[in-house]
Structure 1
Amino acid sequence: MPNGVEPVSAHTWPPARAAVSNTSRAPRNRSPGGVFIGCVPWGKVRNFAARFLPHASILTHRSSRLLHITEIHVTPIAVGDPPLRNAAGLHAPYALRTIVELVSDEGVSGISEIPGSDATTGVLREAAEVVVGRDPYALNGLEQALRQRFGEDAGDRRGQKPWDQRQLVHMFSALEVACLDMVGRATGRPVVDLLGGRARDRVDFSAYLFLKHEGAGGPLAFGTEDSASGWAAARQAEALDPAGVVAQAQAMCDAFGFRSIKLKGGALDPEIEVESMHALQRAFGDDVPLRFDPNAVWSVDTAIKWGKQLEGVLEYYEDPARGQAGMAQVREAVDIPLATNMCTTSFDDLPGSVRLGSEDIILSDHHYWGGLRASIELGRFCRSFGLGLSMHSNSHVGISLAAMTHLAAAVPNLTYAVDTHYPWQSDEVIVGGKLRFEEGALAVPEGPGLGVELDRDALARLHQNYLDCGLSKRDDEVEMQKVEPGWAFQSTRW
């Protein structure tokens, strides 16, 4: 792989095959790859398709035989991230991501992105023996093989901290997206078409605000770039009170055109965070939907007390308390729709959600729920049970954002604008630089597959960041101790 980034590769496909002979009848109308098309010669079908049919690459692409994966490249990267606060502490100067690239025997590639760590890199590299040689269309078989290899329950349990992941679900989501990107490239179709086609051409996103310390992140850490202006300046400014939050929101909405706003809370005293929401309403008016996420560190009593003061202010109230039972109590007492990305995060959680009535809205996330197809299934569930649907975000670059956009475009009942951390990341790993929002929305990327390409030079540079930054996993608690020595995560703080 270029630029010194070492892949995990295998070149043992295809295995040797015994010769097969059939002399009982002549092979009529067989294509060079062994494909029969009724009694019409394959060449005539191909020529007709190329001349008259749209998307003719489906028929004329050289892969008239099955694709097989011959290589997997796993590249951890680190992208600059400002000192953003949340319930679990503070973002490190770098957010860790893992880029996965699959390559087929026909030279067709597929890419994906997930949150990174040494453990994530290791398990994906270990998965190479399962992945190499497989058909990228056969995703059910791949998932079953991974479960057999790593154990049915391997990593299916999620911890209490917001970033804790189910390792097996996480790994499969990365491989599934890369396979779908490969299939899309091979057939000339965008991933949204592989998910059932477009329900919309553009996807609305929401401004995602954070309480934060001064600092630009990356090599500057808590330092700032004096020449920065506009959003670049606001991105590095302190926002630890209502005035700072409003200034951050105004700069982000001016830069990206977002028409709804969310604040990540659970970091400061509830009174400061609730007043920040009132300040946002005063600044933007009643027509801009507002969301607030205490990150599940408030007690039920605290969530009810402050939730009542937010009635008439919020579009939805995200994870004010921990667990489905706690959320159900808050939902019963407060007249605001409740949303979650923390108490209902897997299909195993859905029966409890329905039984207890723990939320009105589920925030999907293909990284958490096991891929794009699983997220489509979640959308159908929400439609059947009358639940709203939106989408959670994590610190990401353009590959994940492209996948999120294809998914959101394919879900008919996506009822709320989608979360994204994307404005907070200044680094990018795709050709052409950062994807561009227009009036707070992204058009579905053009081109086959995800519609984005790896920038090899950027990949090498960000991989070097990973090697140099000294981080092997995300730990916001340790980062917070740099600001407040002795600080410790508490699952319920207020």
Structure 2
Amino acid sequence: MTLAIRHVRVTPIAFRDPPLLNAAGIHEPWALRSIIEIETACGRVGINETYGDLPMLDALAKAAPALQGLSPWDLNTMEDRVAALVSPAKTGSEFLGEQISLAPGTHVSKNVAKVISAFEVAMLDLQGQLAGAPIVDLLGGAARDAVPFSAYLFFKHAEHIDKTRTEYLPDPWGEGITPEQMVAQARRMIDQYGFKSIKLKAGALPPEQEVAAMLALAQAFPGAPLRIDPNANWTVATSLKVVEQLRGVLEYYEDPAPGLDGMAAVARESDVPLATNMVVTDYKEFADNVRLGCPVRIVLSDHHYWGGLRTTQQLACLCQTFDMGLSMHSNSHLGISLTAMTHLAASVPHLAYACDTHYPWQDDEVVQGGRLKFEDGSLRVPRTPGLGVQIDPEALARLHDNYQHCGIRNRDDLGQMRKYDPTFTGKQPRY
């Protein structure tokens, strides 16, 4: 039949990433992604964007034959076939060297969910094209016409350290270390994109410096919802000290201490709601959180490692049932991924907070028409069939060439940080 899937193309890409600091170290000069193209016998192509590290590329290659001959509508069979072909035991890939996991999307244990999500979005794109409807309508319709996103601030260096590479020019955002610099970073991002809320990635500098930055942001942007995320790099004692210092400042407190037990210990002593993308990352962990009385009050979902758009809608229903909030986590991504997030967030009535996005930190794009445009801090939901974006072939070729020559195949923030500080261990929690 002409609707049958006949080919799956996976193209790894790389694009420039600034020297952003986090609990694991510092971003490398190149971020890795992969572009998925699922083609039917009649020539229609559905697209998606996902992780681009070697374990993910290996898993995608193993799973691609599972789609041969399937209808784009047969998502259940796709999921069964992927689960049969892909598992941590069958990927044949493990992380190279020392790795610190800041999010489960980096771990091979999530490969089945990640591959299912990668294929699901591309198949939904095909379904939307065939039905003449945007993906948001396939998911039940839009609960909102535009999706709010948050300014995502990072402590950062002014440039990558490797001066032997002439392409590593000073980053246009400059240094972000002092409170004054972080206020300037926020003001520039808000002026450019219109964001209404602010998130600070913490866990990189001594806590007192990060608290000073948050207090400066609160003074500079009175009334703006503020969040802080140290990626579980603080002990329970430090987490409680910080939340007391930021009393009256925080909208929510994201992953201050390691593990669900650590989060529960913080929750018992603090009335600021705790959010996570680290300790509630699948339905088993969701159940564990419920059994503990829901110390985590806000789940920051990520369809890339939760298993796709449809399962995230199910997660939203569970969050509503247990009186928990829902928003979305982000990784370094381009417009295809951001558009999929936008369709999903628009389809979820129970979206309690503005979503995360790294998009302002990237200056490249793979979709036709170039960079997506934020309006007043939000992205409008596409109304054209499917995802509503298409691949720019020239851009894809250029970004694939970046991948071929950048020399990076697995994200390694720890190794990159050791170029700045050879004694850096990445021990967590550090403070």
TM normalised by structure 1 equals 0.82
Q: Counterpart in 1 of 2:407?
A: 470
- Long gaps (5+) in structure 2: none
Root-mean-square deviation (Å) = 1.9
Residue pairs, 1:342-421, within 5 angstroms: 342-356=278-292, 357-421=294-358
Alpha-carbon distance in structure 2 between the residues aligned to 1:481 and 1:349? 33
Q: Counterpart in 2 of 1:224?
A: 170
Q: Counterpart in 1 of 2:45?
A: 109
Q: Does the 8 Å contact 2:21/2:156 carry over to 1?
A: yes
Q: Counterpart in 2 of 1:55?
A: none
Q: Does the 8 Å contact 1:341/1:362 carry over to 2?
A: yes
Alpha-carbon distance in structure 2 between the residues aligned to 1:314 and 1:359? 15
Q: Does 1:454 align with 2:391?
A: yes
Distance 1:387 1:410, change over 3 A: same
> What amino acid does structure 2 have at the position aligned with 1:215?
E
Q: Does the 8 Å contact 2:100/2:414 carry over to 1?
A: no
Residue pairs, 1:64-213, within 5 angstroms: 67-151=3-87, 161-163=101-103, 164-165=106-107, 166-213=110-157
Alpha-carbon distance in structure 2 between the residues aligned to 1:289 and 1:471? 36
Alpha-carbon distance in structure 2 between the residues aligned to 1:183 and 1:99? 18
Q: Counterpart in 1 of 2:239?
A: 303
**Deviation digits for residues 13-58 of structure 1, max 9, x if unmatched?**
x6xxxxxxxxxxxxxxxxxxxxxxxxxxxxxxxxxxxxxxxxxxxx
Q: Does the 8 Å contact 2:88/2:111 carry over to 1?
A: no
Q: Does the 8 Å contact 1:94/1:217 carry over to 2?
A: no
Residue 220 of structure 1, CA deviation: 6.1
> What amino acid does structure 2 have at the position aligned with 1:380?
C
Alpha-carbon distance in structure 1 between the residues aligned to 2:430 and 2:30? 26
Q: Which has the higher contact order (CA 8 A, sep 6+)?
A: 2
Task: Give structure 1 regions of 4+ aligned residues with deviation exceeding 4 angstroms.
Answer: 151-155, 157-160, 216-222
Residue 153 of structure 1, CA deviation: 7.1
Alpha-carbon distance in structure 2 between the residues aligned to 1:203 and 1:139? 26
Q: Does the 8 Å contact 2:230/2:255 carry over to 1?
A: yes
Residue 133 of structure 1, CA deviation: 1.1
Q: Does the 8 Å contact 1:246/1:283 carry over to 2?
A: yes
Residue 106 of structure 1, CA deviation: 1.4
SS at match of 1:245: helix
Identity %: 50
- Structure label with greater radius of gyration: 1
> What amino acid does structure 2 have at the position aligned with 1:171?
V
Alpha-carbon distance in structure 1 between the residues aligned to 2:12 and 2:177? 32
Residue 125 of structure 1, CA deviation: 1.7
Alpha-carbon distance in structure 2 between the residues aligned to 1:363 and 1:307? 20
SS at match of 1:453: coil
TM normalised by structure 2 equals 0.94
Distance 1:378 1:408, change over 3 A: same
Alpha-carbon distance in structure 2 between the residues aligned to 1:213 and 1:435? 26
Q: Does 1:249 align with 2:186?
A: yes
Q: Does the 8 Å contact 1:376/1:411 carry over to 2?
A: yes
Alpha-carbon distance in structure 2 between the residues aligned to 1:262 and 1:299? 20
- Long gaps (5+) in structure 1: 1-13, 15-62, 226-232
SS at match of 1:354: helix
Count matched residues.
419
SS at match of 2:396: helix
